[in-house]
Each structure stands twice: as structure tokens, then as C-alpha cells.
Chain A
Amino acid sequence: MSIQTIEDTKVKAFPAEPAAELITFTAKARRRIDPLAIAGKAATALVPPAIVILVLLVVWQVACSSPTASLPPPSQVWNEAYDLIAHPFFDNGPQDIGLAWRVLISLQRVAIGFGMAAVVGVGLGALVGQSVWAMRGLDPVFQILRTVPPLAWLPLSLAAFRDSSPSALFVIFITSIWPIIINTAVGVRNIPQDYRNVARILRLNPFEFFVKIMVPAAAPYIFTGLRIGIGLSWLAIVAAEMLTGGVGIGFFIWDAWNSSRLPDIIVALAYIGVTGFCLDRLVAAVGAVVTRGTTAK
């Protein structure tokens, strides 16, 4: 009887083995959505910066706790600016809105100014990269103008546009366009002669060449320029809004400074930093999708 059962289990064990193997295989194939692995990855990415931030907060708290300290400690920021931290989307009338709204308004300006800079910059960069004479004529001018700090343009644009809103847009445009032009030009100059020969044999017209060969071939360079440009335009908008007013995040900081609300300024800085980081990653991610395969031989 006992022998019989042993044989039974043996007989069962053999067919069971391939089945078990199959199960492990499917488990391997599905590992991509294994929640444990994702949690592990998230932990390795999030835990170290969390520890650093915690340490910084503690140091800050200790350093600013004395009654003579000129800056508020984190606990005071949390208490006094709790509304701003907890409710980014409140709306109590024209000048009393949540910080997310202000960031969105600034982002809208950046989108317009940077969008124009991207279109004009890629166009001019293509011209400079493609034509030796355009390069000889324009490159020295670009090299000089690109070193002018963003805010130095502001008085001139205020005089030209007679209004603060287009002036802010112009400052973003003029700040972010140079790296886009220069990187696009380098990318276009580096298009392999073979691709140009293919285009010539196919008799692509200049527009087809621009769309089908030039932009994709220079895309990695163009996106490097766009990434630098969006960073610069985010720098410029905050500074420009401080001077031109309006409802953006830059003006909010200036306003808070004038009414001595230091905790509000600190919260706004955090918003600006996180938004700038997101913008940079967004352009990088778009670039990674658009340029896939371009750099491969």
C-alpha cells in the first residue's frame, strides 16, 4: 500500500515538472510588471535623495532656530505658508491664487516664447549650418548677442513693445534662441555627405530635404539645444516677471519680498525648482523618443 502511494507520487511528479518549468518561464516573461521589482527600483532612486533632504532640513532647522536668525526655519515655513503648500490650486480673486496657477501662467509664457524661439532657432540654425556665407555673416553676430544677459534686453523690449507682457515673452525668446541656433547649425553641418548624396539622387527639393533628412539627422543636436534653451527660458521668466509684474511665479516672489513674507518665497523657490526639473526631463524625454535610432550607425 505504501509502495503504491510512493509510485503514485513519482508518476505524478514527472509530468508535474515541465508544468512547473512553464510557470517559471511565464513568471520571467512577466517580470516587467512585478510590483516588488518596481518598488525596489523606486526605493533605490528615492531613498538616497530623501535622506539628503531630511539631513538638509535638520541642519536648516538647527541653524535658523536662534531668535536672532534672519531667515525662517522649515517649521516656521510649514506653519506660515501651509496654505500655499497644501492648496496649490486655490483661487480667491485676481491677486490671491494658488502657486500652481502662478506656475501655470509662467509656463504659458515660457511655452509661447520658447515655442517661437524653437521654430525660429531651428530655421536660422539650419540656414547657418547649410550655407557657408550665412555662417560667415551671422555667426559672429550670434556669438556676440548670445553673451548678453537676459535682463539686459528688458528695458529695450519695454521701450519697443510699450507693454510688459510681450516684453517678457521677448526676453524668453531672445534668451533661449541662441543655444537652439548654435546646436542646430552644428548638427546640420555634421550631416553625413552620404545622406546628402541620397537626397541629391532622389532630387529632394529644399523643403523635402529639410523635413526628411536635415531635421531627423540633426535631431540629437537640436534637442540638446532645446534642452539648454528651455532651462534658460525658465531662468529668464522668473527674473523678467519680477520686473514686469503680472500674476506669474516671479512676480509672486517679488511681491512676497515687498511684504516680508519670507516663508512664501521659500515655498515658491521649491515650486520653481521642481517645475524647471520637470521641464528639462520633459524635453529630454521627447528628444529620446524622437531621436531613437538616429544616432545608431
Chain B
Amino acid sequence: MTAYLKLDHIDKSFARGSQVSEVLRDIRLTIDKGEFVSIIGHSGCGKSTLLNLIAGLTKVSAGAVLLENKEVDSPGPERAVVFQNHSLLPWLTVYENINLAVSKVFGRSKSKAERHDWIMRNLDLVQMAHAGDKRPAEISGGMKQRVGIARALAMEPKILLLDEPFGALDALTRAHLQDAVMDIHSRLGSTTIMITHDVDEAVLLSDRIVMMTNGPAATIGEVLAVPLARPRRRVELSSDRTFLRCREAVLKFLYERHRFVAAAE
């Protein structure tokens, strides 16, 4: 069976004048359909760059991103991104923000009524149907991120890319949203790649955790499978042995073998 998404020997370096800095080296990873994969690493290890490469927002220096055996090198709605700072357009209401995406992606294939139903269904999915007429400035950070997720889901992407989606939220809101993402993933079976720096979040949500070494020239240090049955409940898992073993493995990788060296920045 061929992989759904394949990162094939990807290198990425940025040139600034005559200075070339190598950010990523020889990234090799295959992801199956419906899988939830987290990418974790210290800040500055290039995990956001990796997500941008998959999204097509940045071009690879060498290697290729293959989705269903076809190379992708430019952005598109089949790889929808949920940005860390939500990136909702402030002059549009919640409904209009999603409508912008839906009318662009489904403008030809769905009628106006169908598009409306589709927008409302996606708002329902993140429990934000009540706030359709509000502008982003009028809702909380957690709600904005929910709308950001709804907008990405409304594009019906082949792959959902989450760029530290809960990084700017408080712990309780983050937990609520993690549950929402788990629920949506189990219902839609969407293939998801999430960037995170939160070990608990990675173990709780993921099927596999990709651990990045420190930069420059970062690469994949280790891939850990999380053999926990779904649906997962955070309270039960907090004392689960498999959960704790996975958590320990990630912590050991991050803080013993690839400790963050501040001087490297």
C-alpha cells in the first residue's frame, strides 16, 4: 500500500545574502489516511517550517511532498491550515469568514442553500453556530480558534494541518478544544498533522508522535506510536500505564537526549 502523504527526503535551507542556513535535513515520513500525527520539538527546530512545507506556503529546497503520489508544491484548500493566531479576517463575521472559504472551494459544485447548510454544519461541529453574526473581535480566543478549525474543516481538506493551534490559549480552554478536536477526528476521520510543544497534548491526541532533533539542520529523531484505544478520556488516561510510558519516552527524548541548548539559537 502506498502512503497517503509522503515526505520524501526533504531538505530546507534559507539563503540570506551569501549566508545559507540549513533548517531541515533529510526529512522522511509517511502518513496513512485518517492518521493523527503530532510533530513535537523545541522551539526553533523548524517544526513550523515543516508544516509550511506540507501546506505549500514555503517551497522545499530538495526532496518532495507527495499527497496520494502527486507532488504538491503550492498551497491549496485540500491541505487546510489552522493557524496559531486563528487568522480570521476581522472585517468579516464568523459566518462570512467561513463563507469566503466555502464559496471559493464549493462555489461551483454546491448551490447557495447547500453552501449555507454546509457552513452551518461546520459551525455546529465546533459548537459555534450561535455566533455566526459576530465579528472575531467580539468572541474569545478559544472561540476564534474554534472558528479557525471550522473554516479549515469547511474546505473538506484531505489533510488538516494544525500549527500550534492551542498555544495561545489558557489551560482549561485548551483542554476543551483538545476534546473538540478528538471528537471531530473520530467523527470525520480526517488525516491530521499537528505541531505542538506540549507533551501531554501530543500523547493525548496522536496516533504517532514525530520528535524533531534540535536545529540547525534538524531532522526526525524518533517516531513514537501511541497504542491507546479511542475514544480517549483525559481523566482516565492520567493514570494509564501506556499513557505514562509514552509521555516518559517523549520527555526523555526532549530533555535528556536532545536537550534545548540556548546558545544554539
Contact = CB atoms under 8 A, between A and B. Distances in A.
A293 B137 contact: yes
B77 A202 contact: yes
Contacts of A294: 90-91
Contacts of B57: 197, 200-201
Interface in B85-114: 85, 87, 89-91, 100-101, 104-105
Interface in B113-147: 135-137
Interface of B: 55-57, 74-77, 79-81, 83, 85, 87, 89-91, 100-101, 104-105, 135-137, 155
Contacts of B83: 194, 197-198
A48 to B, nearest CB: 35
A212 B101 CA distance: 11
Interface centre among B55, B74, B75, B135 (most CB of A within 10 A): B75
Give the interface centre of A293, A295, A297 by most chain B CB atoms within 10 Å: A293
A294 B136 CA distance: 10
Interface residues of A, number: 23
A213 interface: yes
A94 B135 CA distance: 54
A55 interface: no
Given A202-B105, A293-B135, 11 more contacts: A194-B83, A195-B89, A197-B57, A198-B83, A200-B57, A201-B77, A216-B89, A291-B91, A295-B90, A296-B90, A297-B90
Contacts of B74: 200
A203 interface: yes
A293 B87 contact: no
Interface in A274-297: 291-297
Contacts of A208: 104
Contacts of B85: 194
A204 interface: yes
Given A194-B83, A203-B77, A204-B104, A296 B89 contact: no
B75 A293 contact: no
Contacts of B87: 192, 194-195, 197-198
30 contacts: A194-B83, A194-B87, A197-B75, A197-B83, A198-B87, A198-B89, A200-B56, A200-B57, A200-B75, A201-B57, A201-B77, A201-B81, A201-B155, A202-B104, A202-B105, A202-B155, A203-B75, A203-B76, A212-B100, A213-B89, A216-B89, A217-B91, A219-B91, A291-B91, A293-B91, A293-B137, A295-B90, A296-B135, A296-B136, A297-B137
A219 B83 CA distance: 24
A138 to B, nearest CB: 26
Contacts of A216: 89, 91
